[in-house]
């Protein structure tokens, strides 16, 4: 593994949810507050900033250029940005993204260039637009130091992609303590696949989109008792910070207070003690007890489905809502995780139910999901 790919600190500043001056306008980044957050982050010895062509409709890159690039020596920080090629109208537009990002940021090269959200049918667009070879050409030309991709798909998909693209330097994966042994999101398997291919990992969603910072009462009480004064965010981040072969753990910070809190947690970071680990396992078990559908994501139901319904993913989302109680968040996930196989496309043939070893009433569950999320 190329060790020059590792920044000096695993603490990553995610620039997807920056502070705004007008909460209805995603472009209205509060630059003075963001600048203060950047300064706190840099003063604490951290270097990794994560943005993307599409964050804040392009203004995330612009703001990072102003708050960071224009104010610090280039060698004192690293930047990751991403190209959402599958959302672009054609190859020319997709391949123009990197130059636009470099211009917005005010840099001659980006440290980490990611093909953004590969997986599912989106992969075909990266192929069609020749983005894999394009990224390597930009690396050879000195505009990119390391090339990787982010993915929300399963471990088999990750394995297939890394077999096809061994030239990738790293991968960005959704990893957190709730998804670690989750049968649908299988974060542990994703990390194991990356390791088997010798690829270091950038972690996204370490707090599951903030859901692990707002736990149900029982899980919250377990963690608070195990370490009085700790924050729920700290438990989520410590789980990820202490995993091996991790380049960075993204923390999407939106206020100065959040930045201060996360930086203090990182400074005090240490692996879980046996008692803390047991408490975390107890909290996870109490969250899992809230799930409503006993789906193990075995995928048996999917093979014969004439409508291509994303059954395990949809069962997983129903369970996620049961665990977190956050309808809007799960609805947002459904809008893209089930986009290529919505619950409403089920024709009620019943084949899946004959295949399900858990005897789940899949058709009823899909009706509930369609009512809830579509």
CB-count burial class (<10 Å; 0-12, 13-18, 19+) for 322: middle
Please spell the DSSP secondary structure of 256-301, one letter per residue.
Answer: HHHHHHHHHHHHT--PPPHHHHHHHHHHHHHHHTT---------TT
Residues 6+ apart with CB under 8 A from 13: 37, 38, 41, 46, 48, 49, 50, 250, 251, 253
> Cβ of residue 153: shortest distance to ligand SF4, in angstroms?
16
Confirm or reject binding of residue 171 to ligand SF4 (CB under 6 A).
Answer: no
Residue in 37, 315, 317, 338 binding ligand SF4, rule: CB under 6 A:
315
Q: Between residues 8 and 364, which has the closer beta carbon with respect to ligand SF4?
A: 364
Q: Tell whether residue 338 is a contact of ligand SF4 (CB under 6 A).
A: no
Q: Which is nearer to ligand SF4, 148 or 312 (CB)?
A: 312
Rule CB under 6 A: say whether 351 interacts with ligand SF4.
Answer: yes
Q: Per CB under 6 A, does 363 bind ligand SF4? A: yes
What's the closest the beta carbon of residue 38 comes to ligand SF4, in angstroms?
44
For position 354 contacting ligand SF4 by CB under 6 A, the verdict is no
The one segment of 91-99, 194-202, 258-266, 348-356 that binds ligand SF4 by CB under 6 A: 348-356
Closest CB to ligand SF4 among residues 5, 301: 301
Can you tell me which of 309, 323, 333, 338 binds ligand SF4, judged by CB under 6 A?
309
- Gap between the Cα atoms of 26 and 281, Å rounded: 37
Instruction: With beta carbons less than 8 A apart as the criterion, state whether 121 and 340 touch.
Output: yes
Burial per residue of 152-190, b for 16 or more beta-carbon CB atoms within 10 angstroms, e otherwise: bbbbebbbebbeebeebbbbbbbbbbbbbebbbbbbebb
Which listed residue (193, 356, 369, 373) binds ligand SF4 by CB under 6 A?
Answer: 356
Least distance from C-beta 177 to ligand SF4, angstroms? 22
According to DSSP, the residues that pair with 248 across neighbouring strands are 202
Residue ranges binding ligand SF4 (CB under 6 A): 295-301, 305-307, 309, 311-312, 315, 346-352, 355-356, 358, 360, 362-363, 366
């Amino acid at each position: 593994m190329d060790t020059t790919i590792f920044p000096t600190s695993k603490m990553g500043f995610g620039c997807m949810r920056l502070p705004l001056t007008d909460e209805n306008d995603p472009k209205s980044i509060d630059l003075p507050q963001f600048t203060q957050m950047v300064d706190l982050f840099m003063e604490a010895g951290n270097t990794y900033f994560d943005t993307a062509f599409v964050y804040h409709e392009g203004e995330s890159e612009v703001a990072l250029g102003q708050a960071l690039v224009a104010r610090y020596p280039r060698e004192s920080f690293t930047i990751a940005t991403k190209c959402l090629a599958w959302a672009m109208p054609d190859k020319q537009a997709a391949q123009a993204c990197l130059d636009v990002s470099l211009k917005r940021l005010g840099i001659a090269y980006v440290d980490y260039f990611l093909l953004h959200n590969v997986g599912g049918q989106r992969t075909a667009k990266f192929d069609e637009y020749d983005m894999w070879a394009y990224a390597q050409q930009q690396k050879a030309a000195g505009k990119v130091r390391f090339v990787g991709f982010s993915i929300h798909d399963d471990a088999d998909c990750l394995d297939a992609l890394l077999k096809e693209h061994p030239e990738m330097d790293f991968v960005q994966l959704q990893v957190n303590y709730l998804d670690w042994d989750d049968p649908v999101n299988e974060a542990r398997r994703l990390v194991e696949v990356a390791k088997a291919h010798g690829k270091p990992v950038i972690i996204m969603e370490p707090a599951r989109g903030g859901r692990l910072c707002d736990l149900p009462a029982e899980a919250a009480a377990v963690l608070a008792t195990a370490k009085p004064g700790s924050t729920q965010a700290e438990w989520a981040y410590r789980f990820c910070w202490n995993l091996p072969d991790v380049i960075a753990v993204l923390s999407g910070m939106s206020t100065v207070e959040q930045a201060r809190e996360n930086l203090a947690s990182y400074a005090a970071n240490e692996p879980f003690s046996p008692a803390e680990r047991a408490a975390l396992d107890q909290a996870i078990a109490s969250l899992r007890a809230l799930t409503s559908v006993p789906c193990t994501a075995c995928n048996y139901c999917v093979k014969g489905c004439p409508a291509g319904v994303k059954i395990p993913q949809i069962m997983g989302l129903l369970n996620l809502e049961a665990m977190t109680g956050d309808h809007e968040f799960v609805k947002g996930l459904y809008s893209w995780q089930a986009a290529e196989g919505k619950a409403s496309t089920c024709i009620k043939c019943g084949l899946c139910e004959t295949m399900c070893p858990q005897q789940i009433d899949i058709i009823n569950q899909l009706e509930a999901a369609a009512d809830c999320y579509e």
